[in-house]
Amino acid sequence: MKHHQKRKGMKNAAPRCPYCGSHTVLRSADGIYVDNSRETMLYVCKNYPACDAYVRVQPGTTIPLGTVANRELRAMRAEAHRHFNQLFKYGFMSKHDAYQWLAGILNAPRDQAHIGCLNEITCEYVTREAKKLVAWYQEKQREKNCRLRKGGAMAS
| pTM for the structure as a whole | 0.82
| Of 72 and 143, the one with more pLDDT | 72
| Of 81 and 149, the one with more pLDDT | 81
Statement: residue 1 has pLDDT above 70: no
Say if residue 129 is in the same domain as residue 59. no
- Three-state SS string across the chain, please? CCCCCCCCCCCCCCCECCCCCCEEEEEECECCECCCCCCCEEEEECCCCCCCCEEEECCCCCCECCCCECHHHHHHHHHHHHHHHHHHHCCCCCHHHHHHHHHHHHCCCHHHCCHHHCCHHHHHHHHHHHHHHHHHHHHHHHHHHHHHHHHHHHHC
Domain carrying residue 156:
69-156
The residue-averaged pLDDT of 33-39 equals 94
Say if residue 51 is in the same domain as residue 124. no
pLDDT the model gives residue 12: 53
Say if residue 143 is in the same domain as residue 111. yes
- What is the number of domains present in the chain? 2
| Of 146 and 71, the one with more pLDDT | 71
